[in-house]
Chains A and B, each alone.
Chain A
Amino acid sequence: MRPAQSPVVRLIQNLVRKRDFYAGGLIIFFGLVMTLKGPGYRLGTLMHMGPGFLPTALGVILICLGIAIAGTGLAVPEGEDEDILPEHPEWFGWACILAGPLCFILFGSYFGLIPAIFTCVFVSAHGDRTATLKNSAVLATVVTVFGVGLFSYVLQVPMPLLTWRGL
């Protein structure tokens, strides 16, 4: 049994190193979600299509495309950059960039525009490795002043400047 198994094992080992394997996997996942959920919206007939028809069809297409992508990953020799993560993962930087808009949502919903802008810029600025507290604070202040002037006074975005809605 063993010799028959080893090419398969080697194939799989070859596959999981490839970036395209994961790319195809992600696409297959999206396709599966649609194919499984689509029929729940009523398929209908070709003549009278229900809301579920197109999603299901697209889901099937996505699964096929996903298999094709993963398959070509197998056929192509290993490239230089097969890592999914970049050479130097910037976990902290990414977190800061994503935390910026979240701060905007949180502070914007509860305390108004000024704290929203300030925290958004201040937090996201820390994603850069050379950022200092002082630099970020200065940048955030400048952007806040400019942003309040432009969006609140000139463009009249309906958001209170400062408010207290409690937590």
Chain B
Amino acid sequence: MIETALTDLWYGFGVALQPHNLMWCFIGVLVGNMVGVLPGMGPLATISILLPLTFGIKPVGAILMLAGVMYGAQYGGAICSILLNLPCHPPHAVTCLDGFPMTKQGRGGVALGLTVMASFVGASWGITEMIFLSPILVRVALQFGPAEICSLMLLGLLAGSTLARGSPIKGVAMTVLGLMLGIVGTDLETGAERFTFGMTHLDDGIELVALALGLFGVAEFMNSINQVVSINAKYTNVRLRDMRPSKSDVKQAIAPMFRGTLVGSLCALIPGTGPTIASFVAYATEKKISRHPEKFGTGLIEGVIAPEASTHSSVQGDFIPTMSLGIPGDAVMALLLGALMIQGIVPGPQLIKEHPDIFWGLVASFWIGNIMLVLLNVPLIGIWVKLLTIPYKYLYPSALFFVCIGVYAANNDMFQVGETVVIGILGYVLLRLGFHPAPILLGFVLGPRFEENFRRAMLISRGDIFVFVERPISAVFIGLCVLLIALQIYVRIRGAKPPIEIPTALEGAE
């Protein structure tokens, strides 16, 4: 088994090292790294803006680049947290707790250097996991009938919406809203037009790019306009020399690095628990097993390394269900899956077999991209920090233009720019009412496939709704769904509080 995996990986490197693929990967990680540093521009908005521009290039290059944006942003986010105490991106919020005190003590460079190292280790483990687990998952998943696929999707949707931030009921409501938006347009089976309200522009459904940019672009700008965040650039003079950790630092960092990696990879296996949860769990674990838990928050290297390693290992691990089962764990993965679908590639267990170049090329590019990021991060941190001083008032009008042209370029259709505005207003209203709009994207991308498989399952079972609990594999998934809901209710009643207070400077970002 190891042999076939290595042959496949070798093939993957062959794909990823082709000059144009290498170039797209580089552009992806560079852009990702940059937006990871900029507050108020998450990977979601960036990937949505870049998405229409990838229609012209081959699917492999497109997906390498978009995935590069995603993990590149993770490297950038750490810089923001450690040097500026700004939790620009939720997965790095805990890093602030010990990262910024280290910076104040003049050890910010060391923290950054070790973070880059930990990130690489975490990511490498996540990639290894992907190489060996995906083929196994695929072998199992290929046996699935429509009923199993349906209950698996249900589990994915439920986990993605209840385990994310905020109230679980509101999360589920957002997912159902996403499913509803996915229904708009012509019904694939009967050709009936649904919820188009007579607008022929809506026949093909709501455009994915317009939805994503409305929710994570326009709504986000409305949320952060005139919310002045003063940036304290006092500690941002980090020289290359400062970043080299001493031997004792490295020694101290190794154990938390591997513990964090382990936590992250475990979190990646549970659908719906993305990097944000992984980083919090890793921090809490470190604190629990530490001999001096009271020192956390004063600039302990463990408090920086463990969450960062865990974030990266979980980011890579998140690709496993997305690529092998076609079930995305969070909004970014849903967007990447949407990108594949736009390129005419059907996600699901058959993907690895039908498009080995995409899967193995992507895996190989993860490693290449991570190495690029390590090399890039060291000299570029200074430049990224300068970028941080660009005031928001120049940033958002430019970004707004990118949103407009991005949506327009998707189909050369001005109507969809209008769609974005309407969805943006809706997104802002939802934000103000305490909803987190990310699960909408999850429901939107999975919706049409869910409906198709549901219909098929019902047709095969001759309208017997109990087919979902009668077939053993499907019954397991349904059981897990019930368990998940029961657990949420239990936690609710017990009134458990999150173990760590989240720093909330830019909560809405992403």
Contact = CB atoms under 8 A, between A and B. Distances in A.
Q: Do A and B come from one complex?
A: yes
Contact of A104 (B169, B177, B417): B417
Interface stretch (B91-99, B354-362, B428-436): B428-436
Nearest to A127: B225
Contacts of A37: 195
B190 to A, nearest CB: 5
A119 to B, nearest CB: 10
Contacts, number: 181
A51 B418 contact: no
A29 to B, nearest CB: 11
Interface string B403-434: 11100110010100110110011001110111
Interface in B165-207: 167, 169-170, 172-173, 176-177, 179-180, 183, 187, 189-190, 192, 194-195
A49 B169 contact: no
A97 B432 contact: no
A34 B408 CA distance: 29
Interface in A106-123: 108-109, 116-117, 120-122
12 contacts: A22-B433, A42-B192, A47-B463, A49-B455, A55-B180, A69-B173, A97-B222, A98-B218, A108-B417, A117-B405, A121-B398, A128-B225
A54 B454 contact: yes
B396 interface: yes
B194 A97 contact: no
A140 B400 CA distance: 12
A100 B180 contact: no
Interface in A89-137: 90, 93-94, 97-98, 100-102, 104-105, 108-109, 116-117, 120-122, 124-125, 127-131, 136
A26 B433 contact: yes
A125 B459 contact: no
Contacts of B459: 47-48
Contacts of B167: 69, 72
A124 B180 contact: no
B415 to A, nearest CB: 8
A90 B167 CA distance: 27
Contacts of A62: 173, 176-177, 180
Interface residues of B, number: 60
B393 A131 contact: yes
B221 interface: yes
B105 to A, nearest CB: 34
Contacts of A22: 433
Contact of B180 (A34, A69, A105, A155): A34
B226 interface: yes
B398 A66 contact: no
A79 to B, nearest CB: 9
Interface of A: 19-20, 22-23, 26-27, 30, 34, 37, 41-42, 45-52, 54-55, 58-59, 61-62, 65-66, 68-69, 72, 84-86, 88, 90, 93-94, 97-98, 100-102, 104-105, 108-109, 116-117, 120-122, 124-125, 127-131, 136, 139-140, 143, 147, 151, 155, 157-159
Given A62-B180, A69-B169, A101-B417, A125 B195 contact: no
Contacts of B408: 104, 108, 157, 159
Contacts of B222: 90, 93-94, 97-98
Contact of A88 (B183, B226, B432): B226
A146 B490 CA distance: 55
A14 to B, nearest CB: 17
B19 to A, nearest CB: 18
Interface in B285-339: none
Interface in B442-462: 451, 454-455, 458-459, 462
B225 A97 contact: yes
A86 B432 contact: yes
A101 B404 contact: yes
Interface of B: 53, 56, 167, 169-170, 172-173, 176-177, 179-180, 183, 187, 189-190, 192, 194-195, 218, 221-222, 225-226, 392-394, 396-398, 400-401, 403-405, 408-409, 412, 414, 417-418, 420-421, 424-425, 428-430, 432-435, 451, 454-455, 458-459, 462-465
B7 to A, nearest CB: 37
B421 A98 contact: yes
A100 B397 contact: yes
Contacts of B434: 19-20, 23
B226 A90 contact: yes
Contacts of A131: 393
Given A23-B170, A58-B180, A61-B176, A97 B226 contact: no
Specify which of A66, A97, A128, A151 lies most central, judged by the most chain B CB atoms within 10 Å of its CB.
A97
B459 to A, nearest CB: 6
A143 B183 CA distance: 37
Nearest to A108: B414
B432 A30 contact: no
Given A37-B195, A117-B401, A128-B225, 7 more contacts: A47-B462, A65-B172, A97-B218, A109-B414, A125-B394, A127-B225, A155-B53
Contacts of A100: 397, 400-401, 404
B405 A147 contact: yes
Contacts of B195: 34, 37, 55
B170 A105 contact: no
B224 to A, nearest CB: 10
Nearest to B451: A54
Contact of B169 (A68, A98, A102, A155): A68
A50 B458 CA distance: 12
A143 B401 contact: yes
B177 A30 contact: yes
A84 B357 CA distance: 49
Contact of B187 (A27, A47, A51, A158): A51
B469 to A, nearest CB: 15
